[in-house]
């Protein structure tokens, strides 16, 4: 795509070598403190989880992650998160499109409200959805304690990711390319598929990956609405919580390690999409 002349005006290119000293404004001391801070707050506890999961040896670890209930919880978590990521990719792109290219009264308010799921505590999100889609739903839609309910809760908390990652790219997108495509006789769907979508793909993918990561780890919004039924609506984070509550720390740690691995894979994936996206800009 970069060969087709899509060059965005950027006052500053990323990654330009600066003439700053080695650790810049913060100095070597700043680097040292940063590493210490991250080690103490983030790395030490995560190391403790890994260590705990191996407390009883590899056999115990394997048993803890391969028993039927853990597998069912991990599997449902993965499946529902993939569905949520896909719905987000489609609906998020659509909403972003409407917010950037359409004009209607109240657009600014709608745009501001997109961030509401980031600002609203997750437990409140769960309560809010149960009020409309729970047992005493005013519209008679009761999906409480179903897999659908879990998906809806996850869609609520992950709503902003794709929208907020696609919006800026769409704003900066060069309209001349689209006009050229239209003047050469392409219909609006063809222009979208051949011109716009390829430019948006990295942003859509990194937004969807963030949504996926968030969905896999989500706890607050699903703990009430899922009903936590093993082999049905039980998601992995709630499973971990129940294990620690019933005094099975090794089981909790083992499933947590699987969740940690998933997080790492997604983070690496996002980094890859971002690099791909910035290549598009050049």
Helix (H) or strand (E) run with residue 80 in it = helix 68-101
| 39 vs 59: CA distance, rounded Å | 29
Interaction of residue 249 with other proteins, rule CB under 8 A: yes
Measured CA distances, 70 to 155, 176, 224, 256 (Å): 23, 53, 20, 11
Question: Rounded to the nearest whole angstrom, what is the least distance from the CB of residue 63 to other proteins in the complex?
Answer: 18
Among 74, 224, 273, 277, binds other proteins (CB under 8 A): 224
Q: Which stretch binds other proteins (CB under 8 A): 57-65, 68-76, 208-216, 226-234?
A: 208-216
- Compute the distance between CA of residue 18 and CA of residue 51 in angstroms, rounded to an integer: 41
Residue closer to other proteins (CB basis): 68 or 175: 175
Are the C-beta atoms of 86 and 151 separated by less than 8 Å? no
**Cβ 199 to other proteins, closest distance in Å?**
12
Interface with other proteins, residue 241, by CB under 8 A: yes
* Contact flag: residue 113 with other proteins (CB under 8 A): yes
Kindly identify the residues of this chain, within the stretch 181-200, that bind other proteins according to CB under 8 A: 181-182, 188, 191-192, 195-196
Q: Which of 2, 8, 42, 230 binds other proteins (CB under 8 A)?
A: 42
Smallest gap from Cβ 114 to other proteins, in A, equals 8
Residues 71-110 that bind other proteins (CB under 8 A): 91, 94-95, 97-99, 101-102, 104, 110
- Burial, 73: exposed, middle or buried (Cβ in 10 Å; 0-12, 13-18, 19+)? buried
Residues 87 and 155 sit within 8 Å (Cβ to Cβ)? yes
Q: Give me the 143-182 binding string for other proteins, x by CB under 8 A, dash otherwise.
A: ---------x--xx--x---------------x--xx-xx
End-to-end CA distance of the chain: 10
**In sequence order, what are the residues at sequence separation of 6 or more whose Cβ sits closer than 8 angstroms to the Cβ of residue 108?**
none
DSSP 132-176: HHSTT-TTS---TTSHHHHHHHHHHHHHHHHHHHHHHHHHHS-HH
Query: Binding residues for other proteins, how many (CB under 8 A)?
Result: 101
In the window 10-39, what residues touch other proteins (CB under 8 A)? Answer: 11-12, 14, 18-20, 22-27, 30-31, 33-35, 37-38
């Amino acid at each position: 795509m970069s060969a087709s002349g899509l060059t965005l005006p950027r006052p500053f290119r990323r990654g330009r070598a600066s003439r700053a000293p080695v650790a810049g404004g913060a100095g070597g001391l700043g680097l040292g403190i940063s590493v210490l801070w991250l080690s103490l707050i983030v790395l030490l506890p995560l190391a403790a989880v890994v260590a705990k999961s191996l407390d009883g040896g590899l056999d115990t670890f394997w048993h803890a992650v391969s028993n039927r209930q853990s597998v069912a919880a991990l599997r449902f978590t993965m499946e529902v998160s993939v569905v949520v990521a896909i719905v987000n990719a489609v609906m998020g792109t659509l909403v972003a499109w409407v917010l950037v290219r359409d004009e209607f009264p109240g657009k600014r308010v709608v745009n501001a409200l997109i961030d509401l799921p980031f600002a609203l505590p997750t437990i409140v999100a769960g309560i809010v959805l149960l009020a409309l889609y729970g047992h005493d739903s005013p519209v008679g839609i009761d999906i409480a304690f179903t897999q659908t309910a879990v998906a809806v809760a996850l869609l609520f908390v992950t709503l902003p990711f794709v929208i907020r990652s696609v919006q800026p790219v769409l704003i900066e997108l060069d309209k001349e390319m689209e006009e050229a495509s239209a003047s050469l006789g392409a219909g609006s769907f063809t222009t979208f598929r051949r011109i716009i979508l390829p430019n948006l793909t990295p942003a859509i993918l990194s937004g969807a990956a963030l949504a996926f990561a968030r969905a896999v780890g989500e706890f607050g919004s699903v703990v009430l609405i899922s009903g936590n039924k093993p082999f049905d609506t039980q998601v992995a984070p709630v499973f971990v919580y129940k294990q620690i509550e019933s005094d099975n720390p090794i089981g909790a740690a083992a499933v947590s390690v699987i969740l940690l691995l998933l997080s790492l894979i997604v983070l690496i994936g996002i980094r890859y999409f971002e690099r791909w996206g910035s290549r598009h800009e050049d």
